[in-house]
Amino acid sequence: MELLFLVLLSLHILKTEALGHWCYQSQKHELPNCEDPRKWYLINNTCKGNKQSPINIVTKNVIYDRSLKPLNFEGYNVKGSSKWNLENNGHTVKATFSTSPKIGGGGLRRKYKAIELHFHWGVEDIHYLPGSEHSIDGEKAAMELHIVHIREDLSDITEAKKNEDGVAVLAFFIEVGDENKKYATLINELDNVKYKGKTGQMNPLPLDSLIPREEDLTRYYRYTGSLTTPDCHENVIWTVFEKPVELSLAQVSQFSVVLFGGKNSTRMIENFRPVQLLNDRSVYWSGTSPLLPPAKVLMLVPILTYVLSSLFQ
């Protein structure tokens, strides 16, 4: 009887562990029993909610919102005196900070303090295959940076999740372009957190050194969504900026030296969640016209040039 009990207990533990471990699709061949994004709802039922992230932003459907003024960035230009804690948590590379730069304005009803940042990326093939989580009109970028904030009056992310307006995330696309020397300090530390569970400390950076200039951050999209990993907590206030960050191909590729697990495990690649249904949500835009976001204006320039040249022939 005692032996039977031990066997049943072991089976229960194994089953619980199998159901309790989530992963990305890129990990399935190494961890066939883990739950990929299609089955994250088995980890947490919220993952099949109606307000999930990321989404594909369809620019022709966005709603202009005059309240979406430029955000106020407080302390984003301050380096800080405490080191950042860098971690490979088996799903991404995450940096947490003890200082609390803040954001406000921009249609936010409260101020929010930054607590951590992390990245999502793709994989280098012949060219670098995109790995951003959000997309605009179906187009994805090479990577995506998320800076996670919680309401300034709350103590931590657990407390923030108990409040409907507790969490706000800023999302920045990262595209392949010129080398960005401001990222050198962070990228040089990646080899020190190569394996899952590895942690380290790095010299702090001003957060504004990792994102576009403040004057380039006036155009953004706003919607209510969720965290993009289990528990997929909803009611997250998302701000997705149009202006991308540029990193060189070598810099982007450096993120793939990190591994999902220990030695000889799979390279950490394609660590993004597929886009989710928008359902009955609306996406708001901070621009001056709901009809012509900047991408559309740029597309019209050659057409207008051709029409005008034809008129004067």
SS3 sequence, 94-127?
EEECCCCCEEEECCCCCCEEEEEEEEEECEECCC
3-class DSSP assignment, residue 55: coil
For residues 290 and 273, the model is more confident at 273
**Is residue 84 within 8 Å of residue 114, measured between CB atoms?**
no
Same domain for 63 and 8: no
For position 45, what pLDDT does the model report? 97
What would the pLDDT profile of 183-199 be if each residue is shown by its tens digit? 999 999 999 999 999 99
3-class DSSP assignment, residue 265: coil
Other beta carbons less than 10 A from residue 133's beta carbon:
24
Establish how many alpha carbons lie within 13 A of residue 257's alpha carbon, considering only the half-sphere containing its beta carbon: 13
Same domain for 237 and 181: yes
Same domain for 175 and 28: no
> Residue 104 burial (CB < 10 Å; 0-12/13-18/19+)?
middle
Could you tell me if residue 312 is inside a domain? no
Could you tell me if residue 302 is inside a domain? no
- Catalytic residue, chosen from 91, 118, 120, 146, is 91
For position 100, what pLDDT does the model report? 85
Same domain for 138 and 123: yes
Distance, CA of 186 to chain centre: 17
The answer on pLDDT for 307 being more than 70 is: no
What would the pLDDT profile of 126-164 be if each residue is shown by its tens digit? 678 999 999 999 999 999 999 999 999 999 999 999 999
3-class DSSP assignment, residue 172: strand
CA 107 – CA 19 distance, rounded (Å) = 39
Could you tell me if residue 284 is inside a domain? yes
For residue 231, the domain's CATH number is 3.10.200.10
Q: Which residue has the tokens 């961890």?
A: 31
**Is residue 257 within 8 Å of residue 193, measured between CB atoms?**
no
Tell me what the mean pLDDT of segment 243-272 comes to.
Answer: 96
What would the pLDDT profile of 24-65 be if each residue is shown by its tens digit? 999 998 999 999 999 999 999 999 999 999 999 999 999 999
Is the backbone of residue 307 left (phi > 0), alpha (psi -120 to 50) or beta? alpha
For position 290, what pLDDT does the model report? 41
Could you tell me if residue 203 is inside a domain? yes
**CA-wise closest residue to 195 among 266, 123, 271, 272:** 266
Same domain for 123 and 221: yes
Instruction: Give the angle 274-119-83 at the CA atoms, nearest 5°.
Output: 155
CA 106 – CA 163 distance, rounded (Å) = 20
Same domain for 96 and 20: no
For position 4, what pLDDT does the model report? 41
- Domain limits for position 228: 44-290
CA 172 – CA 159 distance, rounded (Å) = 25
User: What single string gives the DSSP state of each residue in 178-233?
Assistant: S--GGGHHHHHTGGGG-STT-EEEE----GGGSS--GGG-S-EEEEEEE-SSTT--
The answer on pLDDT for 1 being more than 90 is: no
Same domain for 223 and 280: yes
For residues 81 and 256, the model is more confident at 256
Number of domains in the chain: 2
Same domain for 61 and 85: yes
Same domain for 130 and 89: yes
Same domain for 67 and 5: no
Same domain for 115 and 35: no
Same domain for 111 and 181: yes
The answer on pLDDT for 111 being more than 80 is: yes
Could you tell me if residue 26 is inside a domain? yes
What would the pLDDT profile of 88-109 be if each residue is shown by its tens digit? 999 999 999 988 899 999 999 9
How is residue 35 annotated by DSSP?
A: B
Could you tell me if residue 184 is inside a domain? yes
For position 296, what pLDDT does the model report? 46
The answer on pLDDT for 3 being more than 80 is: no
Could you tell me if residue 304 is inside a domain? no
Q: Which residue has the tokens 């971690």?
A: 87
For position 20, what pLDDT does the model report? 62
What would the pLDDT profile of 293-305 be if each residue is shown by its tens digit? 444 444 444 444 4
CA 168 – CA 239 distance, rounded (Å) = 8
Could you tell me if residue 142 is inside a domain? yes
Instruction: Give the angle 200-228-151 at the CA atoms, nearest 5°.
Output: 75
Q: Is 146 a catalytic residue?
A: no
